[in-house]
Structure 1
Amino acid sequence: MVRINRVITRGGDGGETSLGDGTRVPKDALRVEAVGCVDEANATIGLLRLHTSGDAETDAMLARIQNDLFDAGADLCVPGAAGDRMRLTDTPSLRLEAEVAAMNASLPPLTSFILPGGTPGAAHAHLARTVVRRAERRVVALARADGVNQALIRYLNRLSDHLFVLGRRLNGGGVADVLWVPGANR
């Protein structure tokens, strides 16, 4: 159980923070940046949930995803293979794959690339997708420099696909998708 007794600790006033194992690192360290990007992705999904509140199934999917992302942050904040620490498994990625397949089954095939937009929910899904892609890039960079649980990379990759398909679903099953028209404004 996590217990937070105080929010203001003054421990970061000098530009450093603590990782999950207690190691002090600069706040701009690659691992801290990756954790921060995952946290930002989680926040954008919280915003997306405001635009899907009437859809219990979507809200439940997004609630699970937010919890997964917090697990991912817990995994990232502890370097190495630290025995009993939180480590993301492939189970959440497999769940995302199943959800993508179920959502995609009722959507018409794509005939063009899609521009972010349409309904407010779809626009926020696309924003969340791009933030997840940034988090994925940061985690990949960290993996090259210091190593990470590879399940994290797979999860973030599946999540961006999930958010793309969810955006189409939130656009009335693809009806309100905004299609790219190559060279339309030349």
Structure 2
Amino acid sequence: MKIYTKTGDSGTTALYGGTRVKKYNLRIESYGTVDELNSYIGLIKDQEISDYIKNSLLKIQNELFIVGSMLATPKEKETLKNGKERLNILKIDESSILYLEKEIDKMDKELAQMTHFILPGGHQTVSFCHIARCICRRAERLSVELQDQETINNNIIKYLNRLSDFLFTLARKLSKDLSVEEIKWIPEKK
């Protein structure tokens, strides 16, 4: 399989099912941002962190490929003419969302209660988590906008929402694991 096809040289790309759209199409922006998020999660996974967290991040990376595939498949192209599903893979569902919630709760039990907003930073690994969280929020916003224009699976938005919470909690957990003080945002009074 060649890496370059030249089919995108005119500024269009194909969705799953063959429909060609402009490369700035909202659907492309949505799954492109999920791909960007996946790359940052890979960067976090490459840091000196526990194998347990690395395995959780690997699971999430695989699920983000599923999210991207779901976003790349327009509703009208989900079913083939013979009635079978075009995207014949497991989909993001309630169990994917519950996994993130379970992991958030597990990490949260080890952390001090939050009393202030926290500024990103303190350690490079923690900063990578905050960057990933921000990209996740952008992917979520784009997916919500896409959902306003077309039908997409609502579990995508739930998953991205929960994943951003997971990444925030992971940043806090890694701050604790790395013995890094969280930087509280304390606004100055007038």
Runs of 4+ in 1 over 3 A off after TM superposition: none
Matching residue's letter, 1:65: I
Aligned-residue RMSD, C-alpha:
1.5
Structure 1 CA distance for aligned equivalents of residues 33 and 3 of structure 2: 21
Kindly provide the CA deviation profile for residues 33-87 of structure 1, in whole angstroms up to 9, marking residues without a partner as x: 1010111111111111122x44101101110111110100000000106142143
Contact 1:16 1:26 in 2 (8 A): yes
Structure 2 CA distance for aligned equivalents of residues 88 and 17 of structure 1: 24
Gaps spanning 5+ residues in structure 1: where?
none
Matching residue's letter, 2:53: T
Paired residues for 1:1-186 under 5 Å? 5-51=1-47, 53-80=48-75, 82-83=78-79, 84=85, 85=87, 86=89, 87-172=91-176, 176-183=181-188
Aligned residue-pair number: 180
With normalisation by structure 2, the TM-score equals 0.90
Structure 2 CA distance for aligned equivalents of residues 58 and 130 of structure 1: 19
How far the C-alpha of 1:181 sits from its partner, in A, is: 1.3
Gaps spanning 5+ residues in structure 2: where?
80-84
Structure 2 CA distance for aligned equivalents of residues 175 and 181 of structure 1: 18
SS in 1 for 2:161: helix
Q: Percent identity?
A: 39
With normalisation by structure 1, the TM-score equals 0.92
Matching residue's letter, 2:183: V
Kindly provide the CA deviation profile for residues 104-141 of structure 1, in whole angstroms up to 9, marking residues without a partner as x: 01101011100001222111111100000000000000
Structure 2 CA distance for aligned equivalents of residues 101 and 149 of structure 1: 25
Contact 1:31 1:76 in 2 (8 A): yes
Structure 2 CA distance for aligned equivalents of residues 10 and 176 of structure 1: 50
How far the C-alpha of 1:177 sits from its partner, in A, is: 1.0
Contact 1:119 1:176 in 2 (8 A): no
Structure 1 CA distance for aligned equivalents of residues 128 and 173 of structure 2: 12
Structure 2 CA distance for aligned equivalents of residues 157 and 54 of structure 1: 24
SS in 1 for 2:113: coil
Structure 2 CA distance for aligned equivalents of residues 144 and 98 of structure 1: 29
Contact 2:140 2:161 in 1 (8 A): yes
Kindly provide the CA deviation profile for residues 139-173 of structure 1, in whole angstroms up to 9, marking residues without a partner as x: 00000011210000000000000000000000015
